[in-house]
Structure 1
Amino acid sequence: MEALERNFTIWEEVDNKLNIMGGLDSLFIVSLDTNSLKQAQQYLLRMQQINEQVKDKFSSAACHVNKALMLKMSSTSLDQEKAKEMLQKIVKGEMLIGNSLNVHSFNCARFSYLNCKHTITKKFGRK
C-alpha cells in the first residue's frame, strides 16, 4: 500500500491523469481487500472526478466497475441488488464504454475478482 501511495504522489506531482487513475484504481482495490470501505469510497470519488476530465474508455470502465463493486460490498440488500444488475450489464457489454474488446475483458476480470472475493468471504468468514 505504501508503494502505491508513493507512486500515486509522484503521478499527482507530474499531473499524469491516466497514471493517477491507475493508481487510484489500485488503491481502491487494495482498500476493498482490506475492508476499508470509507477509503475505497474516497478513491472512487476521486476517480470519478478525474474521469470527468479525461473521458478515457478505461477510466470510464474502471469507474463503472468500481461503483458496482462498492455497491456490492454494501450491507443493504438494495445496494447489493443494484450492484448485481450493474455487474450483469457490464459483463453482457450493455454498459461497455466504447466498443473495445480490451475494456470488455477488463470488466469481466473485475467481475471475476468480485465473485472470488465474495465466495472466500462467505466460506471462510474473512473480510
Structure 2
Amino acid sequence: MVKIETFIEILLQFAVLSLIIERSLYQVFDSKIWKNCLEKRIDEQLGGGFFDIKPLISICVSVSIIYRFKLDMIANLLERPEQPTLLSMLLTGFFVAGGSTGIYKFFKQLRKVREEHFKMEMLKKNTEDGQIPCENDK
C-alpha cells in the first residue's frame, strides 16, 4: 500500500511538470506565428474550428518528455520505478498533458473521495460507539 505522503509527493511532481509544459506550450500557441499562420492554415484545410490540433501537440510533447526521461507515475505509485512500461508511461503522459485544468479536476475529485472516506469513518465510529446517526446531524 502506498503511503499518502508518497502519493502526494508523486502527484505534486507530475503536477509541476504538467504546469511547466502547459505554460511553455502557451507561449507557442499564443504567438502571432501560431495564430496568424499555422492556425489559419489548419482551419482552412480542415474546415473552420472543426479540428483543434493543440491537445494533440500537448499530448505528443508530454508523452515524449515522459518517455525520454523514463518518468512513470504509475510505476512510482506501485513502488516499481525500475520497471516503467510503455502503457503506464503513455497514461502518465496523458495525465501530464491535461495541464492545470486536469490537475485541478483530479485534486477536486480526490478531495471528494477523501471527504466521503472521512464521513464513512465517522459513521462507522459513531455506530460502534452505540450512537445512531440521524439526518439532521450534518
Looking at both structures, which has the greater relative contact order when contacts are Cα pairs under 8 Å and sequence separation is at least 6? 2
Query: What's the TM-score, normalizing by structure 1?
Result: 0.30
Query: What's the TM-score, normalizing by structure 2?
Result: 0.28
**Comparing both structures, which one devotes a greater share of its residues to helix?**
1
